Chain A
Amino acid sequence: MAKRVMDLLQELHRGGATIVVVTHSAELTRRAEREVHIVDGSIVQHPLLGP
């Protein structure tokens, strides 16, 4: 993943922005503070445990 873009996202976040990003990237998900997993239109809080 492009480091420059990732750095900009983190810069935005450090600058006080709230960031909500839809992603399929494991790397980006790791960098987030929290993962929100949606299955069938509802949120599943613990993705590893399954629905």
Chain B
Amino acid sequence: MLKMTGICKAYRTEVLEIFALRDLSIHIREREFIAVTGPSGCGKTAFLTIAGMLESFNEGEYELDGVNVYRMNDQERSWLRNEKIGFIFQSFNLLKDLTVRENVEMPLRYRHLSVSERRRRVESALYRVGLSDRANDYPEELSGVSIKASPLLGLLRARRGCCWLMSRPGIWMRRWRSA
């Protein structure tokens, strides 16, 4: 599913070069459930953003689902990201000018799905987290009980064969509990 070989990522300024990743190699098979651990600043987030093709790298090879990511152009990369990758990061990244339903629907709009299939998936996902009756609200209007489910909007973008990249779900679980 995801294979990195000798990945190096450095952030350079005029006077110094800081390595976020040094010669990192990993092979994650399809359907694996992997916990990435390590001390703060060890490169976990750099690994996740490169795995999600949100950032480039300086050296090494990265294959996602058998495709060499380095050789792709932006458009091909966006397509692959949309098709294969799901993100759940510490911030929810909801678009405030779109309703809850439209937020859930957004990533599906970039795929070749029929309108009815898209609607079916969106409604089923909303139902699963108990947000069916709040689908027409805007993110800011979610409050009380409903706000507790908002981190789960990321999870709603579920699809088979997808690779989910998540950053510290414990943090939003705590927020969820205390909301």
Residues of chain A contacted by B20 (CB below 8 angstroms): 41
Residues of chain A contacted by B159 (CB below 8 angstroms): 17
Q: Does any Cβ of A come within 8 Å of B66's Cβ?
A: no
Report the bound CA distance from A34 to B36 in whole Å: 9
Residues of chain A contacted by B42 (CB below 8 angstroms): 38-41
Task: Name A17's contact: one of B47, B164, B167 (CB within 8 Å).
Answer: B164
- The main secondary structure of chain A at its interface with chain B is mixed
Q: Does any Cβ of B come within 8 Å of A49's Cβ?
A: no
- The main secondary structure of chain B at its interface with chain A is mixed
Among B24, B35, B48, B86: residue with most chain A CB under 10 A: B35
Q: Interface digits, A15-51 against B, CB 8 Å rule (1 contact, 0 not)?
A: 1111111111100110111111111111100010000
Residues of B20-44 contacting chain A, CB below 8 A: 20-26, 28-39, 42-44
Residues of chain A contacted by B80 (CB below 8 angstroms): none
Closest to B86 in A: A17
Tell whether, in the assembled complex, residue A22 and residue B155 are in contact, meaning their CB atoms are under 8 Å apart.
no
Tell whether, in the assembled complex, residue B176 and residue A28 are in contact, meaning their CB atoms are under 8 Å apart.
no
Q: Does any Cβ of A come within 8 Å of B173's Cβ?
A: yes
Q: Does any Cβ of A come within 8 Å of B163's Cβ?
A: yes
Residues of chain B contacted by A39 (CB below 8 angstroms): 38-39, 42
Q: How many whole Å from A41's CB to the nearest CB in chain B?
A: 4
Tell whether, in the assembled complex, residue B152 and residue A5 are in contact, meaning their CB atoms are under 8 Å apart.
yes
Q: How many whole Å from B58's CB to the nearest CB in chain A?
A: 12
Report the bound CA distance from A26 to B34 in whole Å: 13
Tell whether, in the assembled complex, residue B34 and residue A35 are in contact, meaning their CB atoms are under 8 Å apart.
yes
Q: How many whole Å from A18's CB to the nearest CB in chain B?
A: 4
Residues on B lying within 8 angstroms of A by beta carbon are 1-2, 9, 19-26, 28-39, 42-48, 51, 86, 151-152, 155, 158-170, 173, 176-177
5 A–B contacts, CB within 8 A, in A order:
A22-B166, A23-B168, A41-B20, A42-B23, A43-B25
